Amino acid sequence: MTPPTATAPEPVTAPLIPPSTHRYADVIHRLEAGGSMLPDTPENLMQIIGIYKAYAVPMDFYWRDLLYIAEQVFLDPLPAFKYFISQEYLDLPNSYAGDQSKLRIWRGGEKAHPELLEFMANGEAGKMPKLLHHLWHDRINMEFAEACMEAMLWHQDMGGRFYDYLDSDAYRANADRAIKAYFRGNPLMLGLYRLFPEMFMEQVKKMSYYANLGLFWEVMAPVFFEMSDIYDEGGFSGVPAAMDFLVNGIFAVAGRPIYHHVYIKGECFEIIPKSEGFTWLYEAALPYVEAVFYRTAPFRGTKSYNAQAYQVPSDQADFHYGILYADVFPVGSAGIPPTLLMQDMLHFLPPYLVDLYKTHKRGEEDQLIQLGITFQRSMYNVTSAVIQALRDALLYPLDDTDPEHLMANRRFFEAQMDRFLRPEARLSQIQTQDYR
Amino acid sequence: MGSSTLLLLLAAPLAGTLLLPLLPATVASVRVRGIAALFGALQLLVGLLCWQTPPADLQLSWLPKLGLRLDLGLDGLSLPLVLLTALITSLSILSAAADQSRPRLFFSLMLATNLGVVGGLLARNALLFVLAFELVLIPITLLVAVWGGEKRAGAAVRFLLYSAVSGLVLLAAVLAFAWFNPAGPLFAFEDLRQAQFSPTAQRWILALLLLSFGLKLPVFPLHGWQPFTYGQTPTPVVMLLAGSVSKLGAYGLLRFGVGFLPETWAAWSPWIAAAGSISAVYGALNAIAQNDIRRLMAFSSLGHMGLLVLGLSAATPLSLQGAVAQMLAHGIIVALLFACVGLIERKTGTTAIPELSGLMNPLRGLPFTMGMLLLAMMAAAGIPGLAGFPAELLVFEGSWTIFPRITLVSLIASGFTAVYAVRLFNRVGFGRLDNERAEWTSTCWSERAPAMALAVLVIAAGLWPTALTGWSETESTGLALRTQPFLSRSAAQPLSLAAAASPLIAVTLPSASELRTS
């Protein structure tokens, strides 16, 4: 097994607390030293930044189309063309990129990424009618984004107030207004609404999660583009630096409002108004990481589970089908189907990643798997950023000199690592470069 | 066509056997492989020419004092097997690794094996047949001993012992033919066919023949060498051994047993059929229990040889035609199976079923190889549209009216084929491919080519069964010891089973009234 070429820096002074005896003690010590769960090696840095860039391009489409569906398609009973985003939403300026943005942190432009536009025009197969591109799956696979959204909807109670709000009277009143406005002049649908109000309400809740995820990814896309640009300029010293950039980004936009507006015949219906005070970190980012990285759901890939044989936990909080546990290797394994995202990212790999994949395993033949495993590495780094951000928000600085505070941090890190004790977790695999 | 064409069928492998070791050591292994395959291809080409224009028999005096003559000939029984042997020799040579060690000797011995098998098939003299039969023993033993697996020495010794016994017993049987022949010590097939042996002599000779050819095929309980040897033999050699060499035993039973000793064969046929049926069941059940693909294939082969013996024992026109078809079908199917197993072994380094899983994985598995393996397993299981189906159907159809209970048992055994095929594929093809083990490269087209050619033949023979049955119609009808009850009305006419208008096999099923009257 090839060990990582770099490890956490050795502490210069005697440690204030004894070493951890956890199975992932090495990882915990690295986190306590300000590192990431992913070992700090030049190749890991190259892999994660490269894949962030490849992820950001389809993500630039995901967030636009998610908002398009939430705000425009809304309750269309036959949404066959929901992935055929309108030009208005394709041109929608990113709120956190470009000169017009309210909070200009990152340097990218506000328009859709040029590589995305190029791919949407030609795909892999070349120029042909948009419908054929769609049917041939020669397109951005929005099904992946919807699977993420459904995981967030389905797991519901993951902290924050967002889901509770969806059962509030205020939300129901707003949704009711929007439903009636949307189906005005359509007695059939209005009659159905009267007969089955909860079914319609559930659909609106789903639309609210479309908006939630779209607003979340609207922020993440420029973050990843920026990281890619910085790396290209030689700006990151290592994996921890990349993680710190993510932590800083999380805090920078933590207060971004999460809302759900619907536009019906030109009129805006505020189903979740900005004034409710839902924010990006607590109502979108943390539930997203919990639902998508950790939990998601079984029964999505080629692997099947027998729930009656207790192969599926009875408690949703124990679900472990996310990317941190996913078996990327057999294509279409459990959890969020990484295959669709892998296929999307394949189109936008930076040249240095393509070259890297050529030198390992089967080279170009199996780069879909190689990039899937790279994605898994990168998501461990993102999760590390979230863990560090939570530690920063809830506990004590890493350079605190109070042993009790350090022990509190230790307990927090160990509790986080406990989630990776189950055999499906890929944390131990990503500690070595042999896992490809 | 002149009779000297028959000599060309022998000259091609003989030339290869002698010339390959003389090649300079600097010639790359892959080139030696190509040259060796050319000799096989040349033999195949000559065989096809013989099919188009049947050559006259060749009769040359060799050692007249011993009664040994170079009598060669081709008929509907031997021609398809010669073509099969030439084809499998070429493809098995091409299945060898590009970096085959000691290639000049290896491929020379492969061609020597071919020489023995084809010599046996062309022989029209019992002593010449024995000579050719014995010739096969030497190169195969060396091939196993030098290039075999970890336990190659044991495998080679076991093969040598069983084959030596088989050869000696055959020699004894042939000498007994001469001893008991009232017309004197004659070895020519034509003389043996017309000889009037006493019932006691027939019983002794047939017992020896059954022992000899039963060891060669093999059938239960004479199969002791087979699983071990198949497990240790290099892939190209096992392709030739299972696909072609073992058919020499079946051919011998048909030619000598059914052909020369018909009364005793008919009298003993229930016991022979029972042995075939037990082989079929025993082979299939053992195949289900195996944890190594090569051993599984060995027992599968044992089971299919059992079906072949069933067809021979019934000795109806239909069952004999089925037996010949089974020889051809099993030849290409088992060669394809071992070609695929060889590719799996070359890439993964193992044939242990518990160590393999998920090979159908499209990106890091061996999906193409597994696809061809699936095809071969389906053909072995007798799925319609593939080569195994018409052959097994003919065997069962032909034997059913003679040995209904035994045929029923064999039918069940045939059903077990699907069990081990599904079990194997489920465990090796599906499931999770272990990332830590999957370091192998994918197969390239040149590696796949031999298996692809065999796969095409498996499909073609399934869709056009005349390719399996057409060769032997006349001969098998002539050798038949029993009439097919529901075909007896038209027995005077040539049996036209597969030459029906439909491209798919068309068997005339009996009507209810015909069954009652029979």
pLDDT digits (tens, 9 = 90+) for A329-369: 655 444 445 678 888 999 999 999 999 999 998 988 889 88
At residue A22, the pLDDT reads 96
Distance of alpha carbon A314 from alpha carbon A301, whole angstroms: 20
Q: Regarding predicted confidence, which is higher, B52 or A71?
A: A71
Domain contains A372: yes
Distances (CA, A) of A162 to A225, A274, A290, A292, A326: 28, 12, 14, 17, 27
Q: Quick check: A299 pLDDT over 70? A: no
Domain contains B306: yes
Rounded mean pLDDT, A372-376: 93
Q: Regarding predicted confidence, which is higher, B295 or A157?
A: B295
Sign of CA dihedral B453, B455, B461, B464: negative
Domain contains A188: no
Amino acid (1-letter code) at residue B243: G
Residues in chain A with CB shorter than 8 Å from the CB of B439 are 361
CB contact under 8 A, A369 and B433: no
Domain contains A154: yes
A47 CA to chain B: closest CA distance, Å? 19
Residue A185: left if φ>0, alpha if ψ -120 to 50, beta else—which one?
left
Q: Residue B68: which H helix or E strand, with range?
A: strand B68-72
Phi, psi (deg, nearest 5) at residue B70: -90, 75
CB-closest option in B364, B432, B436 to A366: B364
B439 CA to chain A: closest CA distance, Å? 6
A362 CA to chain B: closest CA distance, Å? 6
Range of the structural domain that residue A284 is part of:
25-158+208-259+279-431
Percent of chain A scoring above 90 in pLDDT = 72
At residue B483, the pLDDT reads 79
CB contact under 8 A, B364 and A329: yes
Range of the structural domain that residue B383 is part of:
266-518
Q: Quick check: A61 pLDDT over 90? A: yes
CB contact under 8 A, A331 and B363: yes
Three-point CA angle A19, A21, A25, nearest 5°: 75
At residue B517, the pLDDT reads 43
Distances (CA, A) of B163 to B69, B137, B147, B223, B249: 24, 6, 19, 11, 11
**DSSP, res A263:** E
CB contact under 8 A, A330 and B433: yes
Residues in chain B with CB shorter than 8 Å from the CB of A363 are none
Task: Confirm if B318 and B398 have CB atoms less than 8 A apart.
Answer: yes
Domain count, chain A: 1
CB-closest option in A365, A434, A436 to B363: A365
Q: Nearest residue on chain A to B433, judged by CA atoms?
A: A330
Domain contains B492: yes
CB contact under 8 A, A362 and B362: no
Domain contains A171: no
Coil, helix or strand at residue B58 = strand
At residue B486, the pLDDT reads 59
Other residues' Cβ atoms within 10 Å of the Cβ of residue A209 = 26
Domain contains B233: no
Q: Nearest residue on chain B to A362, judged by CA atoms?
A: B441
At residue B473, the pLDDT reads 80
A331 CA to chain B: closest CA distance, Å? 7
Rounded mean pLDDT, A109-133: 91
**Which residues have C-beta within 8 Å of that of residue B351, sequence separation ≥ 6?**
B231, B292, B293, B294, B341, B344, B345
Rounded mean pLDDT, A158-170: 91
Domain contains B185: no
Q: Nearest residue on chain A to B432, judged by CA atoms?
A: A330
CB-closest option in A331, A361, A434 to B361: A331
Q: How far is CA B122 from the centre of its chain?
A: 16
Q: How far is CA A313 from the centre of its chain?
A: 23
Distance of alpha carbon B232 from alpha carbon B156, whole angstroms: 9
Cβ-count burial of B383 within 10 angstroms (0-12 exposed, 13-18 middle, 19+ buried)? Answer: middle
**Which residues have C-beta within 8 Å of that of residue A435, sequence separation ≥ 6?**
A373, A426, A429, B435
Q: What confidence tens digit (pLDDT) does each residue in A251-283 have? A: 888 899 999 999 999 999 999 999 999 999 999
Domain contains A192: no
Three-point CA angle A264, A265, A269, nearest 5°: 30
CB contact under 8 A, A327 and B363: no
Q: Nearest residue on chain A to B361, judged by CA atoms?
A: A330
Residues in chain B with CB shorter than 8 Å from the CB of A325 are none
Using a CB–CB cut-off of 8 Å, the residues of A that contact B are: 303, 327, 329-331, 361-362, 365-366, 368-369, 434-436
CB contact under 8 A, B441 and A362: yes
B96 CA to chain A: closest CA distance, Å? 23
Q: Nearest residue on chain A to B430, judged by CA atoms?
A: A330
Distance of alpha carbon B487 from alpha carbon B476, whole angstroms: 14
Q: Regarding predicted confidence, which is higher, A166 or A106?
A: A166
At residue B336, the pLDDT reads 97
Residues in chain B with CB shorter than 8 Å from the CB of A303 are 432
Least confident of A85-89, A208-212, A302-306, B21-25: A302-306
Q: Nearest residue on chain A to B442, judged by CA atoms?
A: A362
CB-closest option in A329, A362, A365 to B433: A329
Q: Nearest residue on chain B to A329, judged by CA atoms?
A: B435
Amino acid (1-letter code) at residue A177: R
CB contact under 8 A, A362 and B442: yes
CB contact under 8 A, A435 and B435: yes
Domain contains B116: no
Q: Nearest residue on chain B to A434, judged by CA atoms?
A: B436
B31 CA to chain A: closest CA distance, Å? 27
Rounded mean pLDDT, A195-215: 97
At residue B215, the pLDDT reads 94
Distance of alpha carbon A365 from alpha carbon B358, whole angstroms: 17
Other residues' Cβ atoms within 10 Å of the Cβ of residue B199 = 11
CB contact under 8 A, A329 and B439: no
Q: Quick check: A7 pLDDT over 70? A: no
CB-closest option in B358, B439, B441 to A330: B358
Substitution target in B359, B360, B435 with the highest count of A β-carbons within 10 Å is: B435
Residues in chain B with CB shorter than 8 Å from the CB of A331 are 361-363
CB contact under 8 A, A331 and B362: yes
User: pLDDT class for A328, splitting at 50, 70, 90?
Assistant: confident
Q: Nearest residue on chain A to B443, judged by CA atoms?
A: A362
B441 CA to chain A: closest CA distance, Å? 6
Domain contains B91: no
Q: Nearest residue on chain A to B434, judged by CA atoms?
A: A329
**Which residues have C-beta within 8 Å of that of residue A343, sequence separation ≥ 6?**
A137, A141, A368
Domain contains B379: yes
CB contact under 8 A, B432 and A330: yes
Rounded mean pLDDT, A164-180: 96
At residue B501, the pLDDT reads 33
Q: Nearest residue on chain B to A302, judged by CA atoms?
A: B431
Low-confidence ranges of chain B (pLDDT < 50): 489-518
Domain count, chain B: 1
Domain contains A329: yes
Substitution target in B357, B364, B370, B436 with the highest count of A β-carbons within 10 Å is: B364
B360 CA to chain A: closest CA distance, Å? 10
Residues in chain A with CB shorter than 8 Å from the CB of B432 are 303, 327, 329-330
Residues in chain B with CB shorter than 8 Å from the CB of A366 are 363-364
B362 CA to chain A: closest CA distance, Å? 8
Task: Confirm if B156 and B148 have CB atoms less than 8 A apart.
Answer: yes
CB-closest option in B363, B441, B442 to A369: B363
Distance of alpha carbon A211 from alpha carbon A273, whole angstroms: 12
B249 CA to chain A: closest CA distance, Å? 45
Q: Quick check: A288 pLDDT over 80? A: yes
Q: Nearest residue on chain B to A328, judged by CA atoms?
A: B435
Domain contains B480: yes
CB-closest option in A369, A434, A435 to B364: A369
Let me know how long chain B is. Answer: 518
CB contact under 8 A, B442 and A365: yes
Q: What confidence tens digit (pLDDT) does each residue in A224-254 have? A: 999 999 999 998 999 999 999 999 988 888 8
CB contact under 8 A, A366 and B432: no
Distance of alpha carbon A282 from alpha carbon A275, whole angstroms: 16
Largest Cα separation within chain B, whole Å, is 73
Coil, helix or strand at residue B409 = helix
Q: Quick check: A212 pLDDT over 90? A: yes
Distance of alpha carbon B150 from alpha carbon A331, whole angstroms: 35
Distances (CA, A) of A339 to A64, A236, A333, B389: 21, 29, 8, 39
